[in-house]
Amino acid sequence: MHATFFVLGLVAEKFSHLIERTAAEGHEIATHGYKHQLIFTQTPSEFASDLKRSIVLLEDITGRRVIGHRAPDFSITEKSLWALDILCEQGIIYDSSIFPIKHRRYGINHCRRGIHYITSPAPETRLLVGKGFERENPRFSLQNGFLNTLIEFPLSTISLFGVNFPVCGGGYLRLMPYIATRAAIKKLSSEGMPTMIYMHPYEFDSQDLPTPIGNAKNLRLKFLRFNQNLNRNRSEMKLRKLLNDFKFVPIKDVLRCLRVN
């Protein structure tokens, strides 16, 4: 199976051979920005510069166009929606940064849970879609088989009693029992939604992330490190079960055939 890898520019510079190999083995390479700086802490010009630097770097390494973006720490929030216009300007086709939940650090609680259209980018920002897409998606305007749009692929949530709950990624995947993750995926499938599973490389590392030593100023970071290290010894087992129970494809392949509203 193949996946989408959201790659940091800093990582790509240091380990370009791994990024080149990942692309060569059939995986999609998308951008995670260059410095892993939260978008809402940047000015629009700073974000545009950071984004462009990462895109140019990844395209030079892989020889392939970068069409996808995920913000560091899901930092496209109501304070930084201006970033969507910059994504369009720089040729990004889809974004996967918005978490439709209420969280202290991130999230837009009222965001739509399914994959959806955001805005119309410049004419040169186009996605080549497969046969039958126009028939299945009559809302979209196609020109010579290309789709002019920016698409949001939100992080997966399930809705219970009108409240969205995060599932199937990062700490949520590590901390939830596998049976609950499996049930969540099946529920999303019954609603006609694909599930976005995301994992970080550190979640498969045999060594824990270091915990800071110090006074109460580091208490929040200590809790974060505790959370990041918890249940990591089960990550590989859960991934193997997921790959055995479900079919996964890169995001770009989902968007070629899925009905987008």
pLDDT digits (tens, 9 = 90+) for 244-261: 999 999 999 988 776 555
**pLDDT tens, residue by residue, 169-185:** 888 888 889 999 999 99
pLDDT: which is higher, 103 or 13: 13
Q: What is the rounded CA–CA span in Å between residue 84 and residue 81?
A: 6
Contacts of 41 (CB under 8 A, 6+ apart): 75
94 exposed, middle or buried (CB, 10 Å; 0-12, 13-18, 19+)? buried
**How many structural domains is the chain composed of?**
1
Q: By residue range, what is the domain housing residue 226?
A: 4-257
pLDDT of residue 142: 46
pLDDT at 13 over 70: yes
pLDDT: which is higher, 186 or 103: 186
pLDDT: which is higher, 74 or 217: 74
* 178-190 vs 235-245: helix crossing angle, rounded to 10: 30
Helices (H) and strands (E) in the chain, counts: 10, 11
pLDDT: which is higher, 111 or 245: 245
Q: Which helix (H) or strand (E) holds 256?
A: helix 251-257
- Domain with 104 in it: what CATH number? 3.20.20
Q: Tell the residue number behind the tokens 């969507």, with chain if given.
A: 84
pLDDT of residue 212: 63
**Contact present, 184 and 167 (Cβ < 8 Å):** yes
pLDDT at 139 over 50: no
Least confident interval from 55-59, 193-197, 254-258: 254-258
Q: pTM for the complete prediction?
A: 0.83
Q: Which of 14-18, 103-107, 190-194, 249-253 has the highest mean pLDDT?
A: 14-18
Average pLDDT of the residues of the chain: 84
pLDDT of residue 259: 56
